[in-house]
Amino acid sequence: MKTEVSDYMRSYEAAYETHVPQGLWMTVRLDGRGFTTFTKKGDRFEKPFDIAFHEAMLATVDSLMNCGLEIRLAHTQSDEISLVVSPDEESFGRRVVKILTVLAGQASAFFSSHFDEICVFDARMLALPDSERVSQYLLWRQEDAHRNALSAYAYWALREEGLSARSASKKLEGASRSQKNELLFERGINFNEVPEWQKRGSCVVWETFLKEGFNPKTKEVVFADRRRLVEKRHLSMKDDFRDEVEAWLRP
């Protein structure tokens, strides 16, 4: 009887257990839940972008890249983080639920302790066939950052003039890219001069370096390969960005 219960309970569990096949690039996107409210609370962050917020996202990325999974590359923009896991990673038997819950849990816990407040990230998985598709995916996220930044600047420029949230949104409804650029230009904001991290996001990659040490037995200076995380806050665009990503993805 006992065995029977355990068997069918396990079959209920197994019903939602999916594994990502070997060789596919597990790409995870985490996104802050309800961060529109979180970022507005008490006017703690500058609008539309705040460097302290972006740096907290980058610190969260560092903690994720050190959490035991072989994450080759990460990108963050606004309240989202994309993580590209090595196609050879075997941890957790490549189980989707386990990987997503561990990463979302890690990001939520780290970000919450950073701000001393409960903050939650959701997570989704894309299993991409090759590095070309990964670079295409990241370019898509970068271009999404650009679109959202332009809209956010236009929205907050109108709000600063005294328009209500509803009227500012209404005024921007159906406005083209060039109309939003023009609206900003008329108000003294040149969107071309907005910092790159706001329009494109930032990446974090591993870099290898030679670390100098001393061998007390032989009394010799020795060098060993080590790796460290490096933030890339000036991303290139379009095909150059795709080439850059492909180079970072090479082992």
Binding site for ligand GTP (CB under 6 A): 31-36, 39, 45, 47-50, 53-54, 78-79
Total residues found in the chain within this entry? 251
Q: Is 35 in the site for Mg ion (CB under 5 A)?
A: yes
Q: Which is nearer to Mg ion, 38 or 248 (CB)?
A: 38
Residue 231 in the binding site for Mg ion (CB under 5 A): no
**What's the min distance (Å) between Cβ of 28 and Mg ion?**
15
* Residue closer to Mg ion, measured from CB, 30 or 128: 30
Cα-flanking dihedrals φ and ψ of residue 174, to 5°? Answer: 75, 5
**73-92 binders of Mg ion (CB under 5 A):** 79
Based on the shown chain and the rule CB under 5 A, indicate whether residue 144 belongs to the binding site for Mg ion: no
Q: Which helix (H) or strand (E) holds 85?
A: strand 80-85
Instruction: Locate 82 and state its tokens.
Output: 């994309």
The span from the CA of 181 to the CA of 190, in Å, is 8
Nearer to ligand GTP, 135 or 142 (CB): 142
Helix boundaries (H) for the chain = 2-14, 35-40, 51-65, 96-115, 131-160, 165-172, 177-186, 196-200, 238-249
**Least distance from ligand GTP to the Cβ atom of residue 165, Å:** 11
32 binds Mg ion (CB under 5 A): yes
Cβ 29 to Mg ion shortest distance, Å: 11
Q: How many CB atoms within 10 Å of residue 16? A: 8
Indicate which of ligand GTP, Mg ion, none lies near residue 244 (CB less than 5 to 8 Å, by partner kind).
none
**Cβ 248 vs Cβ 205: under 8 Å:** yes
Q: For residues 9 and 51, which CB has a smaller minimum distance to ligand GTP in the complex?
A: 51
In contact, 156 and 187? CB cutoff 8 Å = no
Phi, psi of 151 (to 5 degrees): -65, -40
Stretch of residues binding Mg ion (CB under 5 A), selected from 33-41, 49-57, 215-223, 224-232:
33-41
Task: Write down the least CB distance from residue 136 to Mg ion, Å.
Answer: 23
Residues that bind Mg ion (CB under 5 A): 31-32, 35, 79
